[in-house]
Amino acid sequence: MRGRVLLERPQILSIGHYICKGRLRRYVSTSATTNKSESLGPTTQDGHRTLRVRKGNNPPLPIPPVLDPIALSERNRWTEKKPQLKHDELTPFQQKLYQNPYAHALATPVRLCPITHTRLPNAFLISLHVKPHPETADPWLVPVSLTPNASNSHGLPARFVARHLFVSFLTRRNNWRRCLAFRLLEKLGSNLKKVVWREDMPTLLLTLLQQQALRKLRWHFTQPGRTLERCAGAHPAALDPLDDVAYVLYLRTLRTHADELHAEAQKIVLEVEGKVDRLAKLMGKHQSPAIQAMIRSPPYWWRGPLFPRLQPRLRFPPLAFQTAEYRGRRVAVYSLFDLLGEERVKELVAGTNFEDADCVVLKESRMIVSAQMALMKLEGYVAESGP
């Protein structure tokens, strides 16, 4: 009897069943998700749920959670976005944090590189998405996120560390297949054999990163005195008189003769390692079985060299990035000539007041955060172990 009374109520019928295409489906109407308590009739609350008041001496009945205003408010509390604070309502610390590009980079979701097993914020990783080729319709791995006006709805990406040397490693011998996530492999299925990785992927990513940084910086060079200011150099005597310095941009190269010597030393190391490999192959062919039995073989899990090599810490020292001292702290120094190239730098300063400038500084502001994040990613991509 109670079930019959409940089914006769119009509020319960709004959650009822309807027949569509021969199937009995369950649905929730849009009126059931509203928080209007007037449509529920006389109700009362016991602190945790809403009860419907019944006529006579009948005890009150609980309202279903899809109609209960208390349940809906508790559920929506964890899904609704936080209100955006106005700039005038921010505290001095919040304003400082809002203008910090490192805070914005570290606030991006942490993701895993499947090959190096390194967990980094997404700002320091490169994401490739599977897109069909416009002519052949074959699936291609494309850096859609680095293109202008890119959105976030591109499906499952393939992520890896944003380093030029690492992308070159992925390009050789189809090593890029190891960076595909398991869910992406399941989604591709039999189309995995058709996926195309461009042979010029390291150069393509470098070009896109340079274009992204160029787009972010072009507006600042066309607005003199707003966020950009001339500077004599990246030394304390030139920076201390300026206020709110965020980072320094050199319009000339910062490379020295030591970088040329380091490049020559790397060529010598590669040549010596090649000779060691060839010597190892010759020794393996001409050794007698008795000598080979005396040599202890490495364990099955060992993948390193069997002959002496230069220690990795000596060959690849920790990366060092240029910084400058400014009022008791360090600020980043970027060489646009080394990061973007001479032609792009000339294009950037052409027709502006900074054509003859050697060094400029950008002042702390929310408007420069995206530009510095683009420069950070580009600098990390082309970074190499220096002398």
Amino acid of residue 364:
E
The pLDDT of residue 387 is 62
The pLDDT of residue 20 is 39
- The contacts found for 198-207 with CB under 8 angstroms, 24 or more apart, are 198/140, 198/141, 199/171, 201/167, 201/170, 201/171, 201/176, 202/164, 202/167, 202/168, 202/171, 204/143, 205/126, 205/143, 205/146, 205/162, 205/164, 205/167, 205/381, 206/164, 206/381, 206/382
The pLDDT of residue 299 is 62
- Alpha-carbon 268 to chain mean position: 36
- For residue 187, give the nearest of 220, 158, 218 by alpha carbon: 158
The pLDDT of residue 259 is 85
Residue 127 has phi, psi (to 5 degrees) of -115, 130
The pLDDT of residue 18 is 34
Cα within 13 Å of Cα(324), Cβ side: 23
Which residues, in sequence order, are CB contacts of 240 under 8 Å at separation 6+? 326, 327
Which residues, in sequence order, are CB contacts of 252 under 8 Å at separation 6+? 335, 337, 358, 359
In this structure, what token pair is assigned to residue 338? Answer: 């080394």
Walk along the chain (387 residues) and give the pLDDT tens digit of each residue.
444 333 333 333 333 333 333 333 333 333 333 344 456 778 888 878 889 888 888 888 888 888 888 888 888 888 877 788 787 888 989 988 999 999 999 999 999 999 999 999 999 999 999 999 989 889 999 999 998 877 777 888 999 999 999 999 999 988 999 999 888 989 888 888 999 999 999 999 999 999 999 999 999 998 877 889 999 999 999 999 999 999 999 999 998 888 888 889 889 988 988 888 787 777 766 666 665 565 556 666 666 666 667 777 777 788 889 999 999 999 999 999 999 999 999 999 999 989 999 999 999 999 999 999 999 999 999 998 766
The pLDDT of residue 14 is 36
Q: What is the 8-class DSSP label of residue 196?
A: B
The pLDDT of residue 25 is 39
The pLDDT of residue 313 is 77
Domains of the chain, residue spans: 9-74, 108-199, 219-256+318-382
